[in-house]
């Protein structure tokens, strides 16, 4: 189990993620599954991308929403365990976060609700056939494997 001082981060080489209108959309490129975290999820994902500790994330939620800190701690630990089980995050080395705790709050709901990870597998087969590989288009031509001529 993760402890509150653990800093977590996205598995950037394996996960494509974008926060749109406060909702975090995540794609696990290794298996084609995609995920959504609405409501407070985009706010939490921005903190994860900036390598905040679980404690810092729980504090940010409690401060932003006036929520009970014990509740935000439990909710953040539950969400982090789900993200870790789906191989979307990892415990990161390092002493400090790379950004401030204040993430974009424009699309946040007024009331606190526990952030939840929704999993979708309806596009897994498509991603398995043609995975969206970020950065491959920018690779030098000699690094892209060539087809053998039979």
CA distance 88 to 49: 11
Distances (CA, A) of 82 to 89, 97, 143: 9, 21, 36
Task: Give the separation between CA 98 and CA 8, rounded to whole angstroms.
Answer: 12
pLDDT number for residue 30:
87
Cα distances (angstroms) measured from residue 150 to each of 43, 135, 142, 147: 52, 29, 20, 9
Q: 25 has which bridge partners?
A: 18, 36
Cα(142)–Cα(138) distance, rounded to whole angstroms? Answer: 12
| Spatial separation of the C-alpha atoms in residues 120 and 142, rounded to whole Å | 36
Instruction: Pull the structure tokens for residue 139.
Output: 């690779």
Structure tokens at 28: 């696990």
Report the alpha-carbon distance of residue 3 to residue 26 in Å, rounded.
24
- Which residues have CB under 8 Å from 115's CB, separation 6+? 37, 39, 40, 41, 43, 44, 75, 76, 79
The pLDDT, as a whole number, for residue 2 is: 86
> pLDDT in tens for each of the 150 residues of the chain?
789 999 999 998 899 999 998 899 999 988 889 999 998 999 999 999 999 999 999 999 999 999 999 999 999 999 999 999 999 999 998 766 666 655 566 778 889 999 999 999 877 666 555 555 554 444 444 444 444 454
What pLDDT score does 100 carry?
63
pLDDT score recorded for residue 134: 52
């Amino acid at each position: 189990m993760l402890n509150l001082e653990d800093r977590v981060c996205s598995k950037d080489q394996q996960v494509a993620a974008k926060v749109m209108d406060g909702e975090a959309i995540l794609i696990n490129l290794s298996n084609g599954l995609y995920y959504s975290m609405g409501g407070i999820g985009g706010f939490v994902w921005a903190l994860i991308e900036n390598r905040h500790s679980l404690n810092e994330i729980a504090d940010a939620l409690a401060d932003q929403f006036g929520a009970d800190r014990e509740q935000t701690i439990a909710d953040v630990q539950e969400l982090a365990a789900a993200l870790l089980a789906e191989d979307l995050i990892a415990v990161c080395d390092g002493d400090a976060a790379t950004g401030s705790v204040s993430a974009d709050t424009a699309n946040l709901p007024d009331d606190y609700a526990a952030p939840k990870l929704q999993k979708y597998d309806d596009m897994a087969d498509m991603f398995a056939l043609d995975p969206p590989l970020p950065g491959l288009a920018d690779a030098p031509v000699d690094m892209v494997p060539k087809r053998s001529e039979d």
